[in-house]
Structure 1
Amino acid sequence: MTASTTSASAAARRTRRRTIAATTVLAAATVTGAFALTLDGSGSRDETTGRSAVVTESIAPAPADESLLVLARRDPADALAVGRADAPVVMIEYSDFQCPFCGRFARETKPDLIRDYVDKGVLRIEWRNFPVFGEESEQAALAGWAAGQQKKFWEFHDVVYGKPRERNAGEFSAENLIAMAREAGVADIERFQADMASGKARSAVQRDQEEGYNLGVTSTPAFLINGRPILGAQPTATFEEAVETAAKAAGR
């Protein structure tokens, strides 16, 4: 390969990166208002923090924005995702392991979505770490990522959310996170601890956080279903309707 060809290839890659970045910025600007609109009509937030959202009545979520489809990573090797990489519908979930309403969604809604849509190849769920409740949330996010390095993220997820936990009261101490990892079936605890403390873990969590903040996410849980923003632990029927509408639009 000649020097000129190498230079041209490098320039092309830089152009593609700039195009993707510009698309993401424009998408973020669009959905910021959509998340704000959803929050305004979706119910009450935790009054002590303003950073977790619950919905007691089903409401019509904001319409989908196809420009946001670029945010779906669709990486077959993503340990923090479940479902086929080529599924017609992708739900991106921004969550905090200390968020009580994220826990409610995990216990009451996600099992139905996995059974009815993920297992049938219609839906892919991509988790984004979005710790908003302080140090214990951040440590839990790092622990989840570390569990994923041993293909145990979703088992860890289910252990953490298996019951309500008191926030910022030591339940996510290093000792307890190790116990949760063991319960989730993480085999190599030394590796788990090393992965949790690694720069790669912090970079991965930071990447997810920045993506969420750029979209205007300020509370958890928050979701994008093929570009359709939904905020809060809304009724299962709200998610089912959004998935089916997206699947139909995708020709499924």
Structure 2
Amino acid sequence: MKKNTANKASYKEQRKLEAQKQQRTTRRLIWITVIFIVAIIAAVIIFQPKAAPVEIAYDTMPSLGAANAPVKIVELGDYKCPSCQYFSQQLEPQIKKDYIDKGLASFHFMNFTIIGPDSNTAALAGQSVFHQNNDAYWKFYDALYKNQGDEKVQWATPQFLVDLAKKENLPIDYDKLMLDITSKKYQNEVDAHNAFARKNQVNSTPTLFINGKKFDNSMDYNSIKAAIDKAVKGE
């Protein structure tokens, strides 16, 4: 009887040891699998091809700075967008001071009309002013954002936009501006801007493209500066 009890105890101990061994083997296999998967993910991240810069017709848009500047920055914006107002008043002047005025970058504007119907009206006005006088456009750009109304209210009417141009004493033909807005003369250009935004997965304004590469953190100047600095170095 004692012998049978001893055999049973030995058998249980053996099964316990085998189970522990199997657990250790299973844990090793799990860790090996995890390490293998992590290595594959890391390799994909490291060696995946970088997205090529998108082609942008810079000479068809309002521009600040030297045409041959090594860095080209495009803002996709909506004149009714409060964040775009902040960008135009707080961040764009810093970009101008640090890069545009030094010949390191040029700055361009493209419409992305996402707020309301009069976003499109304001865009038509901007395009009209640009086609009449590129320098006057930038005064209009500043004035539009400084006089921006509530985004939930349709304030960017043709009359408001023409009156604003007159108030700023822009050197343009005001009758032509009114006609261009009401006839939607440059609607094809605004539509092309919106199509560009959709094609390149732009989901908010303002969004920047720096040398053709989309940059989403457009509300933080330190991040913008770091991205422009990389572009200046050709990275």
Q: Deviations over 1:162-210 (max 9, x none)?
A: 2552114232122211122113333321011122234541011011111
Relative distance call for 1:176 and 1:164 in structure 2 (3 A) is closer
Give the C-alpha shift of residue 244 in structure 1.
0.9
Q: How does 1:1-252 map to 2 (within 5 A)?
A: 67-71=52-56, 73-75=57-59, 78=60, 80-151=62-133, 152-186=136-170, 187-198=172-183, 200-231=185-216, 233-249=218-234
- The answer to whether the Cα contact below 8 Å between 2:79 and 2:144 also exists between their aligned partners in 1 is yes
Paired position in structure 2 for 1:60: none
TM-score (norm 1): 0.67
More helix by share: 2
Describe the superposition over 1:114-164 as per-residue Cα deviations: whole angstroms up to 9, x where unpaired: 111111111111211110112110101001111112212111110011255
Secondary structure at the residue paired with 1:126? strand
- Of all paired residues, the percent bearing the same amino acid is 27
The residue identity in structure 2 corresponding to 1:170 is: Q
How far apart, in 1, do the equivalents of 2:58 and 2:226 lie? 22
The alpha carbon displacement at 1:212 in A equals 0.7
**Is the 2:218–2:224 Cα contact (8 Å) retained in structure 1?**
no
The residue number in structure 2 matching 1:49 is none
Structure 1, gaps ≥5 residues long: 1-63
Structure showing greater Rg:
2
CA distance, structure 2, for counterparts of residue 66 and residue 208 of structure 1: 21
| C-alpha displacement of 1:223 | 1.0
Structure 1 runs (4+) greater than 3 angstroms displaced: 197-200
Q: After the TM superposition, which of the residue ranges 144-153 and 99-108 deviates more from structure 2?
A: 144-153
Give the unaligned 5+ runs of structure 2: 1-48
3-state secondary structure, aligned to 1:216:
coil
Distance in 2 between residues matched to 1:65 and 1:120, nearest whole Å:
29
Task: Output the amino acid matched with 1:142.
Answer: L
Deviation by residue 1:38-71 (Cα, 9 ceiling, x = unmatched): xxxxxxxxxxxxxxxxxxxxxxxxxx95622522
- Structure 1 residues 69, 90: closer, same or farther in 2, change over 3 A? farther
2:153 partner letter = A
Taking only aligned residues, the RMSD between alpha carbons, in angstroms, comes to 2.0
- State the structure with bigger RCO (CA 8 A, min sep 6), 1 or 2: 1
Residue pair 1:65, 1:227 contacting (<8 A) in 2 also: no
Does the 8 Å CA contact 2:62/2:108 hold for their aligned counterparts? yes
